[in-house]
Structure 1
Amino acid sequence: MILYPAIDLKEGRCVRLLRGEMESATVFNEDPGAQARAFQDAGCAWLHIVDLDGAFAGRPANADAVEKILGAIAIPAQLGGGIRDMAQVEAWLARGVARVILGTAAVRDPAFVKAAARAFPGRVAVGIDARDGMAAVEGWAETTDIAAVDLARRFEDAGVAAIIHTDIDRDGAMQGPNIAASAALAHAVSIPVIVSGGVSSMDDIRAAKACGAPLDGVISGRALYDGRLDPAEAAAILAA
């Protein structure tokens, strides 16, 4: 399993939200490139980047900050937030993003997501953000009537590289991830599943590792910034 440190971008800065609420943003670093390099230097093998402004606007909004991150690291990074069409997918992959994450598009335009996954094998992931088990879109502002597991099943055999499963009510709340829901999703589909939302302690890391589901990795943000999680130790536990 892989530890994916999260860098959430709002107005060019590294922030963390509480349950996806933009007004709850806490700024942790003014320099996203330096933050990315710090995670790399700590031994992390991947980065998880979210353009928060882009997720709400429906188009990329933190391109300069993403460029700074990509220029500061040698490890691969995945990026989500506001990526809604093939031109944006192509542009980000050409700029050096290893993998794009399509979230709202997975609900609104699944044919596009499948086409992108076919066009760029191994480089397109689906972000499934869930509130009470139902998929949410538009930067989590709207909850749909589509169950997360049903949405995931739509992309079986589509060539999707991974599913990032986020429990919105756990995100940023430091109350532990919904490992049971992520594990159930991983058992329901053959696509690798990454746990996100609420990972806040080494016990959470160990629980994800020991859950018995074929999980690909764990995303953590706030706990890494405030020191509750040691990135090197967490990465080592997951990699063992």
Structure 2
Amino acid sequence: MTFQIIPAIDLLGGRAVRLAQGDFDRQIWSEDAVVVARRWSAAGAQMLHVVDLDGAAKGAPVELPTLVAIRAVTDVAIEYSGGLRSDESVAAAFAAGANRVVLGTALGSRPEWVAQLCLRYGDRIVAGIDARGGRVAVQGWLESSALSLAEIVRRSNAMGVSRAIVTDIEKDGMLGGPNLDMYRSVLEEASFEVIASGGISSLEDIEAVRGVGTMGAIIGQALYTGHIDLRVAIEMVAA
């Protein structure tokens, strides 16, 4: 697999938004989600990372109609995250147009269920490992669990996940650079591919996370502020 640049589209109230450190009260920007999806698709994205923020907080998907609308305007792959905590919600996300789904809270609370989904759907199931201060965050980042990052990586190995998005919440939306030490430690333990997320704000940051061994970078804030030009980034990693 070649290294992927994956634009993030965070959904709140049917619109694309950007938050600082995942804080709903620190909304920076809002735009029509379909317009954003078209923009990143036209710039050459091969996948979109779509996050249902309301769904993550409520424990059930809220933005499936927006996912349907995005799917209607683009053929690129979509991974969908937020509130997927039942067989029905996972199936509904796939039916609405998702190619992959991201499971976060369930990694700690229902590992057997995640393992079953990995057997059923294979690499369409992605682990969402979100860390704050070395601990795993759950419930849409609203709560910290007792699980350490190292423990959730080991559990994810046992569940049979083939890919995980690993996010440093304290870096997310802050344009301060990625936590390379965190990715190094995860990659030492992981038997799955790692996608970096959080703080990536320059072409140099992309090269840095690729250099430690991750297989992709999810980029949000830096695309919306113009710190990173998506076309240039995609061309750089393809060279």
TM-score range, shorter chain: over 0.9
Q: May I ask how many residue pairs the two structures share in their alignment?
A: 237
Tell which deviates more after alignment, 63-72 or 43-52.
Answer: 63-72
Give the structure 1 partner of residue 113 of structure 2.
112
Deviations 1:22-62 (A, max 9, x none): 01112231x21121111011011111010001000111111
The TM-score, its normalising length taken from structure 1, stands at: 0.95
Q: What is the DSSP-based 3-state SS (H/G/I as helix, E as strand, rest coil) of the residue aligned with 1:204?
A: helix
Give, in angstroms, the shift of residue 16 of structure 1.
0.9
> Does the 8 Å contact 1:100/1:123 carry over to 2?
yes
TM-score by length of 2: 0.95
C-alpha offsets along residues 85-122 of structure 1, whole Å, 9 cap, x if unaligned?
11111121122211000001111111111111111011
Percent identical across equivalent pairs?
A: 38
The alignment status of 1:187 with 2:188, answered yes or no, reads: yes
Q: How does 1:221-232 map to 2 (within 5 A)?
A: 221-232=220-231
Match of 2:211 in 1: 210
* Cα contact 1:122–1:159 (8 A) shared by 2: no
Q: How far apart in 2 are the matches of 1:157 and 1:110?
A: 9
- Residue 17 of structure 1 is matched in structure 2 by 19
Moved more, 179-188 or 163-172: 179-188
1:67 matched residue in structure 2: 68
**Superposed displacement of residue 238, structure 1:** 2.6
On the 8 A contact 1:33/1:71 being kept in 2, the answer is: no
Q: Which ranges of structure 1 fall in alignment gaps of 5 or more residues? A: none
Counterpart secondary structure, 1:107: helix
Aligned residue type for 1:80: S
What is the aligned partner in structure 1 of residue 30 from structure 2?
Answer: 28
1:167-212 deviations in whole A, cap 9, x for unaligned?
Answer: 000000110111221232122111000100111111111211222x
1:145 and 1:65 map into 2 onto residues whose CA distance is: 33
* Counterpart contact for 2:64–2:93, Cα < 8 Å: no
Asked if the contact 2:5/2:216 (under 8 Å) is kept, the reply is: yes
2:219 paired residue number: 220
In 1, the alpha carbon distance for the partners of 2:234 and 2:59 equals 32
Q: Which residue of 1 aligns with 2:141?
A: 140
- Tell me which residue corresponds to 2:9: 7
| Partner secondary structure for residue 169 of structure 1 | coil
* Distance apart, 1:216 and its partner CA: 1.4
